[in-house]
């Protein structure tokens, strides 16, 4: 804080107590100004992160959210420090700050525990009579109780007749998924959701349970996950049957590192995702995703997974999918491959970020125009989408093709930009499929969104213990991610489904166990 050029009075002529008070006030003002400057800077950073220019090169969505969290945390800390500087009135008494209410709506189904705070005395200050209640103020705060463990003791009394030897009567043992084991179906569901939905490796879960006084070995939790995955396998297999009846699917693959005991290191397995998401055109089939584990990325794995499927497959430019569109395809007729404009855009974006190429920038602008049209037809019927695309997008696509041909004639095919333009050229037929079918999307974002949680789990767990662990991972991820797509609580679904299986749910009614068919029981 810069001192004023001239004071209206001589500071040295003031009494010592006044000079000390004045110095304290100056220090306080300087602190407030510094705090305000820091807070303004943090708010500007937060606004830039929220509303500034977005770039694929800067941060992926998950990392961007982490940045938001850290910025919001620091802003809250700065505001608390500011409040601490001004929390007293002029008379030195603590000032009660204005209540910060309605920061979030608390759901009605949460239990309410009322704490009634009565005044020290309810007799009128003049002593005439007792005071009567004329109203009340209510404030709600969210309280969290850490996971509470409980033991369910199953007691089966035995009864016998005193007069004869007719025998002993006793109720049958309830059906449990793990006979004679420790966990309830709810415990199995909780461990699975914590590992595959909340990305908590089993060793971390063991640490959490240990803080609650329950010592469980990591291998025990692993065996529970394996048993649950085994019993849920028919449900996942049936889900894939449902998906392959669709006329259009998405497919993508992502790495799933697996420990190779023979080599003493990890090998690269893959989770192949098959996704159905018809919400873009208002389709009646519920969204779903099924992951299948395979020890490699060869195209034959996609061939095996999609046996029996016929229709349009939306994929990226990976050559492993090419055999699916050839006459020699095994497991069905040749598929129509619809390629992804987002991947084409990404190729140009990489060049623009590195070299600032004006040609790449022009390509990005042209693709952005097509996406703007696509945003206006999302959620409309296939017929409406197709009509709008033919009228508005088709001319832009035709113009893009002319521009692409012209640029490729001028640029070396061996240059980085030439390679990216060549990628778009090679996939041109598949990039135009969305112009002929209103059900087809411009990109494969729906399937890429479903594999993002796999990436988080891969970072936290590092690798699966073996190939069977990869298959367990695939089954659990299929059910949990499909629950998310259908706004179903994964824990409630898994608990109910495992309980139904333990009680002998008939195979003829397996469709009732699909995540999209789950109805939360009324409480």
pLDDT in tens, 402-454: 999 999 998 888 888 888 999 999 999 999 999 999 999 999 999 999 988 88
Nearby residues of 2 by Cβ (< 8 Å), 6 or more positions away: none
Identify the DSSP state of 153. Answer: -
3-class SS of residue 272 = strand
Residue 70: how many CB atoms within 10 A of its CB?
A: 13
Structure confidence at residue 34 (pLDDT): 74
Give the per-residue pLDDT at 200: 85
Give me the pLDDT at residue 424, please. Answer: 93
pLDDT for the residue numbered 48 = 61
At residue 259, what are phi and psi to the nearest 5 degrees? -70, 135
CA 418 to chain CA mean position, Å: 36
In eight-state DSSP terms, residue 123 is B
Task: Give the residue ranges of the chain where pLDDT is below 50.
Answer: 1-5, 54-60, 62-63, 66-67, 70, 99-103, 465
Asked whether 335 and 329 are in contact (CB, 8 A), the reply is yes
Q: Which of 450, 8, 511 is nearest to 245 (CA)?
A: 511
Residue in 283, 178, 290 with CA at minimum distance from that of residue 514: 290
Instruction: Output the six-digit token pair for 476.
Output: 């659990």
Distance CA 224, CA 196 (A): 13
Give the per-residue pLDDT at 122: 76
For residue 511, what pLDDT is reported?
94
The rounded distance, in Å, linking the Cα atoms of 502 and 387 is 51
As given in the structure block, the two tokens for residue 371 are 């996406």
- Give the whole-angstrom CA distance, residue 370 versus residue 359: 17
Between CA 15 and CA 491 the distance in angstroms is: 71
- pLDDT for 170 equals 86
């Amino acid at each position: 804080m810069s001192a004023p050029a001239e004071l209206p009075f001589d500071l040295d002529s003031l009494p010592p107590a006044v000079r000390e008070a004045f110095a304290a006030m100056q220090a306080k003002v300087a602190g407030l100004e510094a705090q305000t400057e820091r807070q303004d800077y943090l708010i500007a950073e937060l606004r830039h992160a929220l509303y500034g220019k977005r770039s694929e090169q800067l941060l992926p969505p998950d990392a961007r959210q982490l940045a938001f969290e850290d910025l919001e945390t620091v802003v809250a800390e700065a505001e608390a420090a500011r409040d601490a500087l001004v929390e007293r009135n002029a008379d030195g008494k603590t000032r009660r700050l204005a209540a910060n209410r309605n920061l979030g709506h608390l759901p009605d189904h949460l239990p309410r525990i009322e704490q009634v705070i009565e005044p020290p005395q309810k007799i009128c200050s003049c002593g005439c009579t007792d005071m009567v209640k004329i109203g009340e103020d209510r404030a709600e705060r969210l309280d969290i109780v850490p996971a509470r463990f409980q033991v369910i003791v199953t007691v089966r009394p035995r009864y016998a007749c005193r007069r004869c030897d007719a025998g002993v009567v006793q109720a049958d043992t309830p059906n449990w998924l793990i006979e004679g084991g420790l966990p309830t179906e709810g415990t199995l569901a909780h461990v699975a959701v914590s590992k595959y939905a909340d990305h908590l490796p089993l060793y971390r879960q063991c640490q959490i349970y240990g803080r609650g006084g329950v010592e469980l070995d990591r291998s025990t939790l692993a065996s529970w996950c394996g048993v649950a995955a085994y019993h849920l396998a028919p449900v996942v297999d049936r889900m894939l049957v449902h998906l392959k009846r669709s006329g259009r699917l998405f497919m993508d693959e992502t790495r799933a590192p697996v420990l190779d005991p023979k080599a003493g290191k990890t090998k690269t397995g893959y989770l192949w995702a098959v996704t159905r998401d018809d919400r873009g055109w208002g389709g009646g089939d519920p969204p779903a995703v099924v992951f299948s584990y395979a020890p490699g990325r060869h195209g034959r794995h996609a061939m095996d997974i999609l046996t029996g499927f016929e229709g349009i497959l939306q994929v990226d430019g990976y050559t492993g999918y090419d055999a699916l569109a050839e006459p020699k395809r095994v497991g069905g007729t040749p598929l129509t491959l619809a390629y992804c404009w987002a991947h084409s855009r990404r190729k140009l974006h990489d060049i623009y970020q590195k070299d600032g190429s004006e040609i790449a920038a022009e390509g990005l602008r042209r693709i952005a125009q097509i996406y703007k049209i696509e945003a206006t037809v999302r959620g409309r019927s296939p017929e409406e989408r197709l009509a709008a695309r033919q009228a508005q997008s088709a001319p832009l696509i035709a113009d893009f093709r002319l521009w692409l041909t012209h640029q490729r004639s001028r640029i070396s095919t061996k240059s980085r930009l030439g390679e990216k333009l060549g990628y778009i050229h090679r996939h041109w037929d598949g990039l135009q499929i969305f112009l002929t079918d209103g059900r087809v999307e411009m990109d494969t974002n729906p399937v890429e969104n479903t594999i993002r949680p796999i990436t988080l789990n891969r970072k936290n767990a590092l690798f699966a213990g073996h190939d069977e662990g990869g298959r367990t991972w695939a089954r659990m991820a299929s059910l949990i991610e499909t629950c998310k797509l259908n706004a179903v609580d994964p824990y409630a679904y898994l608990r109910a489904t495992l309980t139904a299986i333990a009680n002998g749910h008939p195979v003829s009614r397996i469709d009732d166990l699909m995540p999209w068919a789950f109805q939360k029981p009324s409480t």
